[in-house]
Amino acid sequence: MKTLKTTLIDFSINHYRLATLIMVLFTVSMSLFFPWIQVDTDPENMIPKNDPQRVFHNLSKKEFTLSETVVVGVVNEHDPDGVFNPETLRHVYELTQFAKTLRWPDESKPGNVSGVIEVDMVGPSLVDHMHQGGPGEIKFEWLMSRPPETREAARAIRDKAYSNPMLKGRMFSEDGKVICIYLPLTDKHLSYRINEELKKKIDSLGGKETYHIAGVPVAEVAIGVEMFSQMGIGTPMAMAVIFALLVLFFRKWRLVILPMIIAMFSVLSTMGLMIALGFQVHILSSMIPIFLMCIGTVSAIHILSEFFDVYTDEKGRKETIRAVMDELYVPILYTSLTTAAGFASLVFAPIPPAQIFGAFLSTGVMIAWLYTVIFVPAYIMMIPKDKLINFGMSAMQKEKEGLLTKVLRATGRLTFNHPKGLLGVFVILLGVAIWGTTQIHVNDNYAKRFVDTHPIRKADIALNRHLEGTYTAYLILQAPKADSFTPDMIERFSSGLMKYAESIQTEFNNAPALARGSFGMHRNRPVTSNPERISWTP
């Protein structure tokens, strides 16, 4: 009775054209689902929808009408009056008026519009200035009803702004070098589109000032967009590096293209299957191709290496590949199963995108294994025998010993002659690694996921140099009963809250610049966008 191993190997060798056709048809059929791909770039979906923190976060946003906000910082460090000069204030006014127009029909809710929430915008031309008019009279007027035409008028706006402590450190910096415009959004997913529109407008303004666009929604969406972009670059690069190394080792491009085909077909089949089953491609899922591009070539490379070692013209292709597959079938099966099991363990993680990532990456590993078992022998059988002349270890031994061979021989002698010394080195490295794990510092600063030259990182550095942050953390207090707080309890609670706020400010002021977060908070006290329930016992 034939075993599965014998059946697969015999089918691949004896019916190699049919085996190849089956693999191609399955891959093509899965690839046809790519037009229906749904991309999810929202990091918030890393948390299950029924998670208590996420439920409370969404409930609080709805109850208090909270919105995600994009911050546009205008910086002028060259003018003696900073941003309070006629040209810069005119640009700020013009940019504010333009931002009001960033609204479009809401496709999900016909009849509604989405984009910037004009009524909640904050900017110099959108906030009130209160001052005493006459005896017993308080006058309200716009801080900047229109752009000033003279420096005196610009300085007058500065004086009025400085008289309002609510605006210091938020809408403008105390040194007068920065003015911020706050743009609340109906949906944070529009932040990338709004960011692009703002940059176009900024390019048309000119002037000596610099502009920075910041805020959590900008960073979140940018991370998702650029992750997909980088995966599109990284996967072909990994493929090119692997191909170049294989050409260097085996010298026959007809053979070394084989692992590339298997890896590419595995990626297309796996991603197509995920899309066909209705799963969205999240930031984590976007990394499946680059993982499979590396993992999918491993088994084929093992087979090629063994085939290279034992092939001779006398044995021929059929006899050699049958012997190689008979010997390596079980090892590559076990390595594929253990790799798949490791990734499949992510299914038990309480993170939905990680579950999808683990499930389909493990599936992709087994697809790559099956493609390897079926297609590698079939491909070798399709190579004309005359193309394998001077192929194999026996042929290479006739050539002069190469640099790589010399290095490997030297490494082998070192390992054989000094085993105890090498073990000692490995123990020391293990100790250093264990110590290193205790130094891990969790950083939830979105801006630091970008390089220093990225616009988001530059905005983070520039605005935090002048302001106290570009994002707001909300503290929501809930009482068990409407009358459960007595005046004395409220007084003691307010006092304790002020002391806690002062301790945070002290830590922030004493922290090194690199330890401060992008939103003006010390990262040892992580603050997220999720409002938290405060438990307090009087």
Distance CA 270, CA 285 (A): 11
The pTM assigned to this predicted structure is 0.74
Q: Is 109 helix (H, G, I), strand (E, B) or coil?
A: coil
pLDDT of 102 reads 92
77 and 211 share a domain?
yes
Residue with tokens 């034939």: 2
pLDDT of 481 reads 65
The verdict on residue 379 lying in a domain is yes
CA distances, 223 to each of 40, 277, 456, 457 (Å)? 11, 26, 10, 12
pLDDT average, residue stretch 505-509 = 67
The verdict on residue 426 lying in a domain is no
42 and 73 share a domain?
no
pLDDT average, residue stretch 162-185 = 86
pLDDT of 408 strictly over 50:
yes
pLDDT average, residue stretch 365-391 = 84
- Average pLDDT for the chain: 81
Q: How confident is residue 533, by pLDDT bands cut at 50, 70 and 90?
A: very low
More confident residue, 135 or 195: 195
Helices (H), 190-215: 191-205
207 and 339 share a domain?
no
pLDDT of 142 reads 84
More confident residue, 28 or 44: 28
120 and 170 share a domain?
yes
More confident residue, 479 or 236: 236
More confident residue, 191 or 390: 191
Distance CA 32, CA 481 (A): 58
The verdict on residue 127 lying in a domain is yes
pLDDT of 432 reads 95
pLDDT of 528 reads 34
E strands present in 367-519: 475-476
pLDDT of 524 reads 33
Task: Give the contacts of 214 (CB within 8 A, at least 6 positions apart).
Answer: 70, 71, 73, 447, 456, 459, 460, 463, 470, 518
pLDDT of 517 reads 40
Out of 352, 381, 399, pick the residue that ends a domain. 399
8 and 145 share a domain?
no
* pLDDT tens readout for residues 215-228: 888 887 777 777 77
More confident residue, 423 or 450: 423
Q: How confident is residue 42, by pLDDT bands cut at 50, 70 and 90?
A: confident
pLDDT of 99 strictly over 90:
yes
More confident residue, 214 or 443: 214
The verdict on residue 408 lying in a domain is no
pLDDT of 403 strictly over 90:
no
Distance CA 497, CA 500 (A): 5
The verdict on residue 487 lying in a domain is yes
pLDDT winner (highest mean) among 135-149, 225-239, 411-425 = 411-425
What's the CA dihedral at 440, 445, 450, 456 to 10 degrees? -160
Q: How confident is residue 527, by pLDDT bands cut at 50, 70 and 90?
A: very low
DSSP for residue 528: -
330 and 392 share a domain?
yes
pLDDT of 165 reads 79
pLDDT of 112 strictly over 90:
no
Give me the number of domains the chain comprises: 3
pLDDT of 358 reads 94
Q: How confident is residue 98, by pLDDT bands cut at 50, 70 and 90?
A: very high
The verdict on residue 491 lying in a domain is yes
153 and 79 share a domain?
yes
208 and 268 share a domain?
no
pLDDT of 67 reads 86
pLDDT of 30 strictly over 90:
yes
280 and 318 share a domain?
yes
The torsion angles phi and psi of 322, rounded to 5 degrees, stand at -65, -45
pLDDT average, residue stretch 65-89 = 89
More confident residue, 395 or 210: 210
163 and 258 share a domain?
no
pLDDT average, residue stretch 439-454 = 78
Weakest mean pLDDT among 246-260, 356-370, 505-519:
505-519
CATH number at residue 376: 1.20.1640.10
178 and 310 share a domain?
no
The verdict on residue 174 lying in a domain is yes
Weakest mean pLDDT among 99-103, 243-247, 288-292:
243-247
Q: How confident is residue 183, by pLDDT bands cut at 50, 70 and 90?
A: very high
| Pairing of the two strands 103-105 and 113-115 | antiparallel
Burial 171-180, CB ≥16 within 10 A → b, else e: bbbeebbbbb
pLDDT of 340 strictly over 50:
yes
Dihedral-angle region of residue 440 (phi above 0 means left; psi in -120 to 50 means alpha; beta otherwise):
beta
More confident residue, 160 or 390: 160
Q: How confident is residue 427, by pLDDT bands cut at 50, 70 and 90?
A: very high
Distance CA 242, CA 185 (A): 45
CA distances, 517 to each of 69, 220, 514, 525 (Å)? 17, 15, 8, 10
The verdict on residue 494 lying in a domain is yes
More confident residue, 315 or 89: 89
Q: How confident is residue 36, by pLDDT bands cut at 50, 70 and 90?
A: very high
Out of 399, 417, 443, pick the residue that ends a domain. 399
30 and 96 share a domain?
no
- Residue % of the chain over a pLDDT of 70: 87
pLDDT of 531 strictly over 60:
no
Out of 351, 369, 399, pick the residue that ends a domain. 399
pLDDT average, residue stretch 242-262 = 80
Residue 184: give the domain boundaries: 68-220
Q: How confident is residue 513, by pLDDT bands cut at 50, 70 and 90?
A: very low
Q: How confident is residue 515, by pLDDT bands cut at 50, 70 and 90?
A: very low
pLDDT of 479 strictly over 80:
no
Closest C-alpha among 472, 471, 474 to residue 60:
474
More confident residue, 102 or 228: 102
More confident residue, 245 or 2: 245
